[in-house]
Structure formats: structure tokens, C-alpha cells
Amino acid sequence: MIAEQILRYIFQYRRLLSDTEACAKEPCSMCLAPHIPKIQSFIEHNEPIHFILPAFPAKSPNPQKVLGPMPDMGERVALQFLQNLCNQISKVYPPGAKITICSDGRVFTDLVAITDENVSLYRQGIERLLNEINADRIDTFCLENVFSRMSFDEMRKTLIKQYSQPIESIQERVNSEDKHRQFFNGIYHLLFDDYLVLYPDKPRNQVEVECNVRAYEVIQRSNAWTKLVGQHFPQSLRLSIHPQHYHSDKIGIHMIKTSDQWGTPWHNAPVFNGKEFLLMKRRHIEDIGASLVWHDGYPSHYILSKQVSQALVTIDSKK
């Protein structure tokens, strides 16, 4: 069955909330069930299988995590992975696949301390990268495609008004369901790490309270964006850069090797260890003495010395 073959290929890169159950190694029928009918529908119409991926929002404002506001080698490697994923699917299914990156940076700017100007610069950088790698299987979609004649603040307000759920219902799910609690905790820690650095004069307990509130708002807007995107692409398969539970209707996906389950190019810096690129926090890369490489006037990635690379491999092998 071609549909199952395609899905199992994608599942090789699945990003899961937990890898302790059998489904992590061998997806069961319930893992496959939400996605097979959609793939089969594209196959029956002899159309490219269409995926949507809310991702590539903007760089974290935290200088301890990233190299700066522009896309770097982390984004390049991730985009090349997505293009290659589509190319590989075309080998077993000639119409292949396409991916629409639903960039959600504009959705969250005021919550995550990123300026709209930096979102625009980042998006321009992503478009340049797509052109440079000849990514003919990838296109983009953003808030401006829906609310084109509004200010950015009006776009966000309209999104919340038309598509969001009450915060209270989100809080109820976080308090009662483990998968929602794990997702909340992941968002909270991303915010908390940034806010501690961005606002060093604020008391720690105040930052904790603010990030707790903002984490719920991020989830509210994330769900609203998911609903809006779902209305525009109702037949498409939903990829996610966040780890998902085994039987989710979203497929969490690893685009580049990371040092943790939540790692993304926009919350980390890329480092080449002699064999491959991986993502780590910038401060950790600099602590181990990696060398910074520039490209076209912007910092691109780090390179580890041979000695450091060998030491890290030894540490990993003992885990």
C-alpha cells in the first residue's frame, strides 16, 4: 500500500513526546489511522500529497540561544530536509509531495518579545534560502495572506476574535490531560528562558508569573492559527515542529538533529561536528570553544574542533 509506505517513511523522522512505548519503534494502526485516508485521497486523484507545517516564525530574541535575527545554516539544513523529503516521496509516488510552511511569527510577536520588523526580515531571509536551494516543492503562507489590509496588531486581534478558544478551556485541558500539560510546560520553559535574559532586572517570581500567563496565550493563538490554517487547507496533512503523542492527528517531525526534543533552528544555533549539523544553545556552543563561520555578512554556524567533536562523541556513547 503506497499510502502506508509513504507514511512510514515520514515516521522515521517523527518527533514524539515520549519514546518509551512500542509505538515509538513500530507505529501501530492507531498511529497511522489519522493520516492514511488523507494520503490515499491525494493518491486517488493523482495529486501531490500536500503537507502544512506551522513553522519558521522568527529567531528567538535571546542572544544566548541564537546567532541573531536572520536565518542561518540551521534554517538552510531544515529547509533542505523538507525539500528532500518531498523528493524521496516522488520516488515511490511520481506526483510526489508539497509542503506549505505556514509561518506563524506574526501571530506571537507581542507575546515572545520579537518585533514585527524582525519577523519581516526573517521571512525575507527564508524566501532567499528557498530560492538558493531550488525548493520547488515548498511554498509559504502567513497571516498577511488572510488579513492583507490590516495593521499587524489588527491581524492578531482579528485572529483571536474569530478563531480562538477561551483561556479557561485551555487551562482546564492543561490541568486534566497529560499531553496538554506537557505542551504547556514546553512553551512555558521556552518563554521563561528568554524572559530571564531579556529582563534581568525583573524578580524571578515575577517572570514566572508573566510567563505562565503568556504560555496560555501562546497556546490560545497557536490553536487559533491551527484552526485558520485548517480552514484554508482542509485536506492537507498536518506536520508539527513540536513533539506529539503517538496517535495525534499532527505528525511531529525532526528536520535537523537537536540536543533536546523541543529544539528548532529559531531557538538554537547550528554547529557542525565534523559529520553533521546539530542544534544547540549558542552559549553552550561557545562554552566548548567552537569557531564561528560567517556567510554573506551574517553569522552562519559554528564548527567544532576535531578534539572537541571526539570528546562529545565519547560522552554520547556513554549515555
Torsion, Cα 240 246 248 249, to 10 degrees, reads 80
pLDDT one-digit tens code per residue, 181-239? 988 998 999 899 999 999 999 999 999 999 999 999 999 999 999 999 999 999 999 99
Q: pLDDT tier at 119 (50, 70, 90 boundaries)?
A: very high
Quote the CA–CA distance of 244 and 186 in Å, as a whole number. Answer: 12
Model pLDDT, residue 305: 80
Whether residue 315 has pLDDT greater than 80: no
Question: Is it the case that residue 261 has pLDDT exceeding 90?
Answer: no
pLDDT attached to residue 147: 93
Task: Check residue 179 and give its pLDDT.
Answer: 83
Q: Is the pLDDT of residue 140 over 60?
A: yes
Cell of 282: 549558542
**The pTM is what?**
0.90
What letter does residue 253 receive in the DSSP assignment? B
Cα gap 43→262, rounded to integer Å: 32
pLDDT at 260: 81
Q: Which residue has the cell 485536506?
A: 235
Q: What phi, psi does 192 have (nearest 5°)?
A: -60, -45
User: Alpha carbon of 285 to those of 186, 223, 294: distances in Å?
Assistant: 22, 33, 15
Quickly state the pLDDT bin for 310 (edges 50, 70, 90).
Answer: low
Average pLDDT over residues 127-145: 96
Greater pLDDT, 132 or 182? 132
**Residue 132 banded pLDDT, cuts 50, 70, 90:** very high
**Can you give the pLDDT at residue 309?**
55
State the DSSP string of 195-212.
HHHH-TTS-HHHHHHHHH
For 302, the grid coordinates are: 559554528
* pLDDT on residue 317: 40
Rounded CA separation 208/187 (Å): 12
For the ranges 8-22, 115-129, 174-188, 249-263, the one whose mean pLDDT is highest: 115-129
What pLDDT is recorded for position 245? 87
Q: What are the CB-based long-range contacts (under 8 Å, 24+) for 242-246?
A: 242/15, 242/183, 242/186, 243/15, 243/16, 243/17, 243/182, 243/186, 244/14, 244/15, 244/16, 244/17, 245/16, 245/17, 245/18, 245/179, 246/16, 246/21, 246/23, 246/24, 246/27, 246/28, 246/30, 246/31
For 76-91, what is the mean pLDDT? 97
Q: Which residue has the cell 482542509?
A: 234
**301 DSSP β-pair partners:** 293
pLDDT of residue 313: 46
Which comes out higher in pLDDT, residue 259 or 311? 259
Instruction: Return the C-alpha cell found at 16.
Output: 514524539
Paired strand residues for 293: 301
Q: pLDDT-based confidence at 306, cuts 50/70/90?
A: low
In whole angstroms, give the CA distance from residue 213 to residue 160.
16
